[in-house]
Amino acid sequence: MRYRVLGGTGIEVSVHCLGAMMFGSVGNSDHDDAVRVIHAALDAGINFVDTADMYSMGESEEIVGKALKGRRDDVVLATKVHFPMGDGPNKGGNSRRWIVHEVEQSLRRLDTDWIDLYQIHRPDHTTDIEETLSALTDLVRAGKIRAFGSSTFPASDLVEAYHVAERRGLHRFRTEQPPYSLLARGIETTVLPTAARLGMGVLTWSPLASGFLSGGIRRGQDVDLTRGRAAITPFRFDPSLPENTAKFDALEQLIEVADGLGCTLPELAVAFAAAHPAVTSVIIGPRTMAHLEATLKGAGLELDDATLDRVDEIVPPGTDLYRADGAWRPPVLTDPRSRRRPAGERAAA
């Protein structure tokens, strides 16, 4: 396993990061089996583990904590905060009140004294970014976290956070965690170049496009829309929908590329994400040992220029054929008031 420096922190992390989202009630609820998968990943040279408080409502963090007993010093541990962890107000978001509360809960569940990388899971435009950065800076100074980053932030928010930190003498986001895959290349336009200019490390998620690139979905075959990710967002996978035609067309061509290389489509997908110069680490999210072994089998795959050129022909750089993040959309898109002047003020004359 190769290692890369994470966002100027001096911390070296494996090019594959073990994502723990599928450990717990939403995926593999067998704690002992999940621990075995984590141990196998560590034994293979992966030293970077990423989870979040909201994954199975804390159960994922508990499983990771069990797995890291006796091995904590050898692992770069990342988790995230933002999404609600209960009913009622003030139990989510990016406020100082919530961050300071929830970091203690994550430390308890992870059974550790510190978190190497604490990430803000999504933007929160009801909270000043200075408030968030100030709280995170205090946690670094208190020794509870070593560094902090963002997840699925637009480039404009990354730039704002950088300049606020600079003006106020606060620590800055060291990393960004965006979705990136063969079918979701939109971040190549602004997010990845911005992260590179700001010296941020990048750990990408969903290299298999929520299973669309798993190799088990093909055009002309029935897609089970009652199980897994397809049951949650069937509109993404339903081959009868016209908006999915381009995805299925690209999928068939990408399978041809993988076949020509003698590798699987998932191996191609993970290798593609790792090849971008702005990407530090690619998050893989196995649910079972078989999933992990299949991913590790392709760890040595290095794509040549001809292959990457062919991928560019199939899905042009900066193109999103697949919208990875179905859990969050910026308020400027969801709140009509942000796009419409008050009635009576919209006409030009």
Nearest to 60 by CA among 18, 96, 99, 91: 18
Query: 284: which 2 tokens?
Result: 């893989």
232 CB-near residues (< 8 Å, 6+ apart): 326
Q: Is the pLDDT at 309 greater than 60, yes or no?
A: yes
Task: Among 65-74, 175-184, 235-244, 339-348, name the one with the lowest average pLDDT.
Answer: 235-244
pLDDT tier at 210 (50, 70, 90 boundaries)?
confident
Selected residue with higher pLDDT from 80 and 233: 80
pLDDT reported for residue 17: 98
User: Mean of the pLDDT values across residues 311-316?
Assistant: 98
d(CA 254, CA 307): 10
Higher per-residue pLDDT: 226 or 106: 106
Query: What pLDDT does residue 323 have?
Result: 76
Which is more confidently placed, 210 or 19? Answer: 19
Q: How far apart are alpha carbons 295 and 50 in whole angstroms?
A: 16
Kind of pairing, strands 145-151 and 12-14? unpaired
Give the pLDDT score at 47. Answer: 98
Query: Tens digit of pLDDT for each residue in 59-98?
Result: 999 999 999 999 999 999 999 999 999 999 999 999 999 9
Instruction: Answer whether residue 327 shows pLDDT above 60.
Output: no
If one compares 133 and 212, the residue with the highest pLDDT of the two is 133
Integer angstrom CA distances of residue 121 from 53, 82, 99, 107, 175: 10, 5, 11, 17, 12
What is the arithmetic mean of pLDDT over 184-207? Answer: 97
How far out from the chain centre does Cα 64 lie?
Answer: 17
Written as six digits, the tokens of 318 are 């900066």
The pLDDT-based confidence of 325 (bands split at 50, 70, 90) is: low
Q: Which of 7, 12, 278 is nearest to 119 (CA)?
A: 7
Integer Cα distance of 133 and 139 in angstroms: 10
* DSSP, res 78: E
Tokens 């100030």 locate to 134
| pLDDT bucket at 165, cuts 50 / 70 / 90 | very high
Residue 118 annotated as catalytic: no
CA angle 282, 327, 133 (to 5 degrees): 70
The pLDDT of residue 333 is 78
Q: Which of 55, 118, 180, 322 is catalytic?
A: 55
Take residue 26 and report the two structure tokens written for it. Answer: 């939403």
Reported confidence tier of residue 236, pLDDT bands at 50, 70, 90: confident
Helix (H, G, I), strand (E, B), or coil: what is residue 12?
strand
Across all residues in the chain, what is the average pLDDT? 94
In this prediction, residue 217 carries a pLDDT of 84
**Tens of pLDDT along 113-127?**
999 999 999 999 999
Q: For residues 143 and 121, what is the distance between their CA atoms, to the nearest angstrom?
A: 21
Entry field: residues in the chain: 349
The CA–CA distances, whole Å, from 11 to 8, 71, 285 equal: 8, 17, 22
